[in-house]
Amino acid sequence: MKYDYWGLLKHLRHPLRSIYVLHGDETLIQQEALIALRQSATRQGFSERERHDIDRGYDWATAFADSNALSLFADKKLIEIYGNKPDAAGGKILEAYLKNPPEDNVVVLILPKLDSAAQKSKWFSACDDNGITVSCAPLTPVQLKDWLNARCAQANISLDPEALAWLCEQTEGNLLAANQEVTKLSLLYGEQSLELRHVQKAIADHARFDLFDLTEAALAGDATKAAKILFSLKAEGQAESLILWALSKEIRTLLVLSEGQQQGTPLAQLFQQQGVWSKQQAVLQKVLKRLSLKRLIKLNHELLAADKAIKGQSLDNAWDILLRLSLALAGVTLFETSV
């Protein structure tokens, strides 16, 4: 059965199914879905938890063989398997497992975004028939408002409609940044109802302005200035997540514009659809001539790498990736193997 994040939360009030698939590129939603699953499993008596990471030296067969081993310490196990999309052999192992899954095991697959072909595969259908598949995709504007409202409620604060709309606009495309801003508001104001002036005072500071200096220099093709601003932000202690948010907003807009152009949509129409201001249009036109669609796709993939590095989910240095992204936007490739 297919659910989104909110559907999963409602489902977790009931007995768990044999398998769950959490797939998508919205990492924070995926992490929170996993935490909710763990909490539900604990309440339902799954007192042991295992983790398996699929890589070159550890395949799907090994993961499921280890998972089926009897435990001396617990009767029920929650088994988390992290990997990429199952290959042909992995898909068959999943299908075979789900023909007669152990009653005392619950398997959770944590996967990246799956394309339409993967979601039509036999192994995915078997997971859907025997369990729950959850799409952890970026939130729509309406979903973002719901998510922010819920997060504010957890922090015992509330935002009036104007303040909520402004915060959504400022943090669009970056749930981690949105979560940090809610935490900041809670610490500054405590438990109360907040208006737009409160939120703007807390968030629209000088450091945030410098973020736009960074993207402005990068889009203008001034690699030297972009690098200097990035190093200055690092020295001032600016959060990597906010820098990533500023860069990702520009990169994703450019990607949508480039894809639209390739499909034959007039650029003026695309600018209107994306809400690009008239004074920005000439700059973005030059960037689209400088960066190909293929290069923008690579930049978009690099955003995910930066996000993982910031969250400690990889060994990469987050500041190195942010520098590559900034210079790449300016039209400079730092390394042959980078974006």
Residues ≥6 apart with Cβ < 8 Å to 308:
27, 314, 316
Residues 116 and 80 in one domain: yes
Residues 252 and 187 in one domain: no
- The total domain count for the chain is 3
> Tokens 């924070």, residue?
28
Range of the domain at 167: 141-203
Residue 339 has what pLDDT? Answer: 42
pLDDT in tens, 59-115: 888 888 866 655 545 578 899 999 888 989 999 999 999 998 888 899 999 999 998
Tell me the β-bridge partners of 133. 2, 21
Domain boundary among 135, 159, 179: 135
Residue 170 sits in a domain of what CATH number? 1.10.8.60
Rounded Cα distance between 250 and 218, Å, is 10
User: Cα(first)–Cα(last) distance of the chain, in Å?
Assistant: 37
Spans of the chain below 70 pLDDT: 56, 66-74, 172-173, 204-210, 334-339
> Tokens 């999309």, residue?
85
**233 within a domain of the structure (yes/no):** yes
Helices (H), the chain: 5-11, 27-43, 60-67, 88-99, 116-119, 122-130, 141-154, 161-171, 175-189, 196-203, 206-219, 223-235, 240-262, 267-274, 278-290, 293-310, 318-329
Distances (CA, A) of 9 to 29, 106, 299: 12, 16, 33
Residues 73 and 158 in one domain: no
**219 within a domain of the structure (yes/no):** yes
**272 within a domain of the structure (yes/no):** yes
Domain boundary among 135, 163, 187: 135
Residue 221 sits in a domain of what CATH number? 1.20.272.10
Tokens for 302, please give them: 């690099």
Residues 111 and 97 in one domain: yes
Rounded Cα distance between 285 and 276, Å, is 11
Residues 194 and 221 in one domain: no
pLDDT in tens, 227-238: 989 988 888 788
Residues 316 and 290 in one domain: yes
Residues 175 and 92 in one domain: no
Residue 15's identity, in one-letter code, is P
Rounded Cα distance between 9 and 19, Å, is 15
Tokens for 42, please give them: 């604990």
**338 within a domain of the structure (yes/no):** no
**276 within a domain of the structure (yes/no):** yes
